[in-house]
Amino acid sequence: MDNTRQQKIARQIQRDVAEILQKDAADVVRGTLVTVTAVRISPDLAYSKIYVSIFPFEKSAATLEAIREKGWFIRKMLGARIRNQLKVVPEVEFFLDDSLEYIDNIDNLLHGKDK
């Protein structure tokens, strides 16, 4: 169970990473819509799992790989934003949140649409 501090830090990281992907790392996500859907942070605030949703779905694997390659840069920018709030900038690890793709697939199956 996450405590209140973990939840606050996770929400702050979610906002900051979304802004970093939109502004500072825009070249990485060019041509796609990337949404930071969730952030899970360890109890010691040293590790964070960042879940992103990528649209169009066909570019999700390539975009996620590009985001992972730029993970050091995103962590550096995150550190500049939260340096006064945390002693240690958490390690970041990115994961694909494919729930929207799953919902779209179910919707297409229910309505008899072919891709």
pLDDT tens figures, 81-97: 998 988 899 999 999 98
Interior/surface letters 65-101, b for 16+ CB within 10 angstroms, e for the rest? ebbeebeeebbebbeebeeeeeeebbebebebbeeeb
Residue 1 has pLDDT above 60, yes or no: no
Query: What is residue 8's predicted lDDT score, i.e. its pLDDT?
Result: 94
Give the pair of three-digit tokens for residue 106: 């179910």
pLDDT tens figures, 56-74: 888 989 999 999 999 999 9
Helix (H/G/I), strand (E/B), else coil: 83 = coil
Q: Which residue segments constitute the domains of the chain, with CATH numbers given?
A: 4-110 (3.30.300.20)
Q: What's the CA gap between 60 and 103, in Å, rounded?
A: 16
